[in-house]
């Protein structure tokens, strides 16, 4: 039986870094679901057609980590039909042996409500903006404004809003180093594995 880890949270909270580390540590497959929406947004044209025609190669674009791609992702992710077109792909991926780690904004609430472990990763707005600005070489103040705009849109959307699952464990990385955050997440996975 595959072990599924659902990791949600706002942009630059550390969820992707934690997801990649858990994937490596436990030999699980990893899917950054935000890349699906970034790729759909970056393709332009009709978002629903782009979602239905998405290919693995579309996730390799070098511009998917930009602020522009993030804003485009947030806009297309608010379209219920686009989300529906991508749900089955994500759910199928989540049940891949020996396990999978998916990170996004609605993994624990919509995509994998029965995941063996759900994490909701957060950090202060300022820390997240500083991390993202350093990652993409952007201005911190502009990045902070863009993150807050995106958070508000993601939390307010009618379909699959950004929020923690009721049974998610909240992991606040504001004061943590990467190593500390990953170590804490590893402990949580190991605790769940011993219960299964």
Give the residue among 31, 30, 36 at the shortest CA–CA distance from 76.
36
Supply angle C-alpha 177, 178, 181, rounded to 5. 85
Confirm or deny that 161 is annotated as ligand binding.
Answer: no
Confirm or deny that 99 is annotated as ligand binding.
Answer: no
**Rounded mean pLDDT, 60-66:** 89
Residue 60 has pLDDT above 90, yes or no: no
Confirm or deny that 92 is annotated as ligand binding.
Answer: no
So what's the architecture of 3-195 in CATH?
3-Layer(aba) Sandwich (3.40)
pLDDT digits (tens, 9 = 90+) for 111-160: 999 999 999 999 999 999 999 999 889 999 999 999 999 899 888 888 88
CA dist 166 and 115 (Å) reads: 12
Confirm or deny that 14 is annotated as ligand binding.
Answer: yes
Confirm or deny that 33 is annotated as ligand binding.
Answer: no
Residue 31 has pLDDT above 90, yes or no: yes
Q: So what's the pLDDT on residue 18?
A: 98
Q: So what's the pLDDT on residue 196?
A: 64
What's the number of CA atoms in the CB half-sphere (13 Å) around residue 80?
A: 3
Q: So what's the pLDDT on residue 118?
A: 98
Confirm or deny that 9 is annotated as ligand binding.
Answer: yes
Confirm or deny that 12 is annotated as ligand binding.
Answer: yes
| Residue 13 banded pLDDT, cuts 50, 70, 90 | very high
Give the residue among 29, 32, 168 at the shortest CA–CA distance from 99.
29
């Amino acid at each position: 039986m595959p072990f599924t880890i659902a990791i949600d949270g706002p942009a630059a909270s550390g969820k992707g870094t934690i997801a990649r580390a858990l994937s490596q540590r436990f030999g699980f497959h990893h899917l950054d679901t935000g890349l699906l929406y970034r790729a759909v947004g970056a393709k332009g044209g009709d978002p629903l057609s782009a979602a239905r025609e998405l290919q693995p190669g579309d996730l390799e674009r070098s511009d998917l980590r930009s602020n522009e791609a993030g804003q485009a992702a947030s806009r297309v992710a608010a379209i219920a039909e686009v989300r529906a077109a991508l749900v089955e792909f994500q759910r199928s991926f989540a049940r891949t042996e020996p396990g999978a780690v998916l990170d996004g904004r609605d993994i624990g609430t919509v995509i994998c409500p029965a995941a063996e472990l759900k994490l909701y990763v957060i950090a202060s707005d300022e820390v997240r903006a500083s991390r993202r600005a350093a990652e993409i070489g952007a201005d911190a103040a502009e990045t902070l404004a863009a993150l807050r705009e995106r958070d508000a849109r993601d939390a307010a959307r009618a379909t699959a809003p950004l929020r923690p699952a009721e049974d998610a464990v909240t992991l606040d990385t504001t004061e943590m180093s990467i190593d500390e955050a990953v170590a804490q997440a590893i402990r949580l996975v190991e605790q769940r594995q011993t219960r299964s």
